[in-house]
Amino acid sequence: MALNFPNRKTPAKNPVNRANLGMDLEQMINDSNEYYLANDIAVIHKKPTPVQIVKVDYPMRSKAVITEAYYKTPSTTDYNGIYKGKYIDFEAKENHNKTAFPLKNIHPHQIEHLKKIVEHGGIGFLIVAWNLYNEYYLLPFDVCLKYWDDSNTEEGRKSIPYSVFKEKAFLIEESYLPRLKYLNVVDKVYLKEDIAKQEK
Amino acid sequence: MALNFPNRKTPAKNPVNRANLGMDLEQMINDSNEYYLANDIAVIHKKPTPVQIVKVDYPMRSKAVITEAYYKTPSTTDYNGIYKGKYIDFEAKENHNKTAFPLKNIHPHQIEHLKKIVEHGGIGFLIVAWNLYNEYYLLPFDVCLKYWDDSNTEEGRKSIPYSVFKEKAFLIEESYLPRLKYLNVVDKVYLKEDIAKQEK
């Protein structure tokens, strides 16, 4: 695939610490999903943030106000949906480090969830933003799981090196619309194999 | 399919108005999904209730408290997931009426969402509880859509009659585990056709 922008595989010489990047990846994915939906390419939505609602007021003549609630740990991933008839499921993570993606960014139940998704025939992955380099990678779940399992051994490292992203993850092309062309990577990584299997 | 309980197709002579039925259907489906998950049958979750968070307090030494938030209109359905490699998507609705299910129970964007799901090759339906009769039906989305489209014409009726549920929807068997065996109906309605298609 030809990329129409400077080679982003090489870290920028003077990385700019972009503000609000925490919002950014989510916003970029949401915008991309809107584009995919509007153009009948895929139906993928972000799940709402899970909240434990404790107290609700019902003021007269106006709508209910939640006055006490707490964030809950999500039991699944952030995104799921359907693309070319396939169930798609992924988690999006920011990484502000230079050389490795710390595995503590991922909740154990998100790993369990993605494991089950893949076992049931779905497509599972992570989208990881390397903020210092302005790079976005699709990290296939099997690569992630290998490092996750290693990290639970005594001598195992607790992160995935940047070099592994360059070798085993897939750089996602940025564009105007969609912002992140991650479904192109899904095509390349998952659906070619699938077509090959059907042809056997 | 043999049913091991009295024929529920006939309305009970003295219908009992069960308290908390609003909770009940959701709880029954959640329990069923837990069973399906624990037994590696399917991975189907309820999406969190969408909430617009306005104000959050961060008290010292304790976790963040959301002190002002509002319910948002959901843009999709309540449930989705994967079953036998297929993307599954449905909405659950209670109905307290005797003779018809009012279509105003369904949001227009839920119809739009399910329409897209089906177009993209997913399985879409509603689970409707007829509370007076203690009956639970899987209503295929195409049946629902026909009545929805009719309801938007001037002379069209604004509800789906009970008789249509008896003819074109599928009674879901109740059991101890899972509480609602709705995936048995999915097998019967959607996956037999699918197998037949593959065999052609």
Hey, which residues does B66 pair with through a beta bridge?
A69, B56
**Residue range B100-158, pLDDT digits in tens:** 999 999 999 999 999 999 999 999 999 999 999 999 999 999 999 999 999 999 999 99
Residue B38 at interface with chain A, using a CB cutoff of 8 Å: no
Picking from A37, A66, A113, the nearest residue to B51 by CB comes out as A66
CA dist B53 and A150 (Å) reads 38
Report B:154-193 residues touching A (Cβ under 8 A): none
Residue A35 has which token pair? 């584009």
pLDDT (mean) for B171-200: 86
Cβ under 8 Å to B: A residues 74-133: 74-76, 80-87, 89, 113, 116-117, 119-122
- Across the interface, do B82 and A120 touch by the CB < 8 Å criterion? yes
B32 compared with B18, residue with greater pLDDT: B32
Residue-level pLDDT at B5: 46
Mutate to test the interface with A, among B39, B87, B194 (most CBs of A within 10 A): B87
The DSSP bridge partners found for residue B123 are B88
Integer Cα distance of A150 and A147 in angstroms = 5
- Which of A48, A71, A113 is nearest residue B50 as measured by Cβ atoms? A48
Q: Closest residue of B to A38, CA-based? A: B116
* Residue B94 near residue B101 (C-beta atoms within 8 A): no
pLDDT of B2 reads 43
Residue B195 corresponds to which tokens in the numbers above?
Answer: 């197998």
In terms of pLDDT, which residue wins out, A19 or B90? Answer: B90
For residue A44, list chain B residues with Cβ-Cβ distance below 8 A: none
The mean of the pLDDT values for chain B is 88
Cβ within 8 Å, pair B113-A75:
no
Report CB contact under 8 Å: B49, A51: yes
Amino acid at site B157: R
**What integer pLDDT is reported at residue A74 of this predicted model?**
87
What pLDDT, in 10s, does the model give residues B75-87?
899 999 999 999 9
Measured distance CA(A87)–CA(A124) in Å, rounded = 9
Task: Find the length of chain B.
Answer: 200
Residue A53 touches chain B, beta carbons under 8 Å: yes
- Minimal Cβ distance to B117: which of A48, A82, A116: A82
Closest-CA residue of chain A to B39: A116
Candidates B184, B50, B107; CA nearest to A50 is: B50
DSSP-assigned states of every residue in A50-75: PEEEEEEE--TTS--EEEEEEE---S
CA distance A162 to A99: 5
pLDDT band at B61 (very low <50, low <70, confident <90, very high): confident
CB within 8 Å of chain B, chain A residues 57-76: 63-72, 74-76
User: Which tokens go with B174?
Assistant: 């109740």
DSSP track, A122-176: -EEEEEEEEGGGTEEEEEEHHHHHHHHHHHTSTT--SEEEHHHHHHHSEEPPB-S
A120/B84 Cβ within 8 A? yes
Q: Using only C-alpha atoms, what is the Rg of chain A?
A: 19
- Report pLDDT for A61: 81
Q: Is the pLDDT higher at A51 or at B14?
A: A51
Best CA proximity match to A151, nearest among A189, A116, A115, A100: A100
Note the pLDDT of residue B200. Answer: 58
| B94 DSSP assignment | E
Select from A49, A71, A121 the Cβ nearest to the Cβ of B85. A121
Confidence of residue B192 (pLDDT cuts 50, 70, 90): confident
Residue at token pair 């001598």: A155
Please tell me which of the candidates B48, B85, B86 has its beta carbon nearest to residue A48. B48
Closest in A68, A85, A117 to B65, CB measured: A68
Cα A14 from Cα A30, distance rounded (Å): 28
Rounded to an integer, the average pLDDT of B60-89 is: 94
Residue-by-residue pLDDT tens, chain A, 200 positions: 444 444 444 444 444 444 444 448 999 999 999 999 999 999 999 999 999 999 999 988 888 999 999 999 888 999 999 999 999 999 999 999 999 999 999 999 999 999 999 999 999 999 999 999 999 999 999 999 999 999 999 999 999 999 999 999 999 999 999 999 999 999 999 998 655 666 65
- Is residue A48 within 8 Å of residue B50, measured between CB atoms? yes
CB of B48 within 8 Å of any CB in chain A? yes
**Distance separating alpha carbons of residues B58 and B65, to the nearest angstrom:** 6
Using DSSP's 3-state secondary structure scheme, residue A95 falls into strand
Q: Which amino acid is at B105?
A: N
The domains of chain A, with CATH numbers, are 21-48+74-199 (3.40.1350.10)
CA separation for the pair B82, B91 (Å, rounded): 15
**Where is B161: in which H helix or E strand?**
strand B159-161
- Cα gap B157→B172, rounded to integer Å: 26
Report the Cα–Cα distance between both ends of chain B, in Å, rounded: 26
